[in-house]
Structure 1
């Protein structure tokens, strides 16, 4: 799938990012990455915690150096890439966070969570890092993408991934509200395990 997203820039990606984005559409590809993240939640996230758990749209806990394992799965009957994340917070049972990434066209991609809620983004390589640039939130209802004004409530997402070595990359993600600043984020390094 991601070869189509990056198109002509695919060959420019560093080796580790090619491994990380190796999932092909209509295949049984599996990529596993393990790492540690610092997870930050603001007061607004704690207020919204019941909704976040219900919709399973963010990890509603924070911590430093949290071990995380991510399995990226493709399926032979689909062009979707499934993300199965497990966060191992100290003193808590493992927190599972599932989503799936769908390419709309070109570098226009949506990451869908429970109930058809999705983060729409532009996914591109800028010559140094992969950037996931906010394009809004959507709700997939009866096959139609309905824009959601969640920017007003939680702000805009942004993510980037940058190669550190042939087998390790740095990941940064944040949600920034125009009034309250950074309300959520995580960053850390991952190693390609499989």
Structure 2
């Protein structure tokens, strides 16, 4: 077991520059049962090809392809006793359907490079950067995880380029946004909102 947070090595020298809310958000340690819980609301948008393929996204239990505002969301960030993985369990409480869970896990590959692995082994490769007083997740392509091996797949032209950022509001609150922008269709997906850290290790 390590006493150092999983993300300390990802942010590197920038870790000490993170505001308290971000250090709480990313406080989970590897090889533990650590859990961090955040609650908030999100505004979601979905257009273009994301709307066309929405039945597939629902089936794959991926990002929820929906247009709705003020959606209550709880996110549980969990460590893994057997690895350095950082698990997400996002629970969306939509008005017209049962609570929807979108699960994924973050795996550090090297330095500040991380792959978010979703259902069926599809992964988003990104770099984590502390820049302009915010955490930025910058697109580095998509991969397919096969027996623990990450194989690059040329999905950016089809799916679009992902981007996310998080900004501290106070010691317990942060704003966040996620977007997918397509070269031809423009912004095809996004969600943004505010979260409070309810508990952390």
Could you tell me which runs of 5 or more consecutive residues in structure 1 were left unpaired when the two chains were aligned: none
Q: Could you say which residue in structure 2 is the equivalent of 1:158?
A: 163
Is residue 40 from structure 1 mapped to residue 45 from structure 2 by the alignment? yes
Moved more, 119-128 or 154-163: 119-128
Distance 1:160 1:133 in 2: 9
Moved more, 59-68 or 30-39: 59-68
Picking from 176, 181, 185, the partner of 2:181 is: 176
Q: Could you say which residue in structure 1 is the equivalent of 2:87?
A: 82
Residue 143 (structure 1) shift: 2.7
Picking from 116, 120, 135, the partner of 2:140 is: 135
Q: Could you say which residue in structure 1 is the equivalent of 2:190?
A: 185
The root-mean-square deviation of aligned C-alpha atoms, in Å, is 1.0
Distance 1:59 1:131 in 2: 22
Length-normalised TM-score, structure 1: 0.97
Residue 56 (structure 1) shift: 2.4
Q: Detail structure 1 runs of 4+ shifted over 6 Å in the superposition.
A: none
SS at match of 1:9: helix
Q: Could you say which residue in structure 2 is the equivalent of 1:146?
A: 151
Could you tell me which runs of 5 or more consecutive residues in structure 2 were left unpaired when the two chains were aligned: 1-5
SS at match of 1:77: coil
Length-normalised TM-score, structure 2: 0.94
Is residue 50 from structure 1 mapped to residue 61 from structure 2 by the alignment? no
Q: Could you say which residue in structure 1 is the equivalent of 2:102?
A: 97
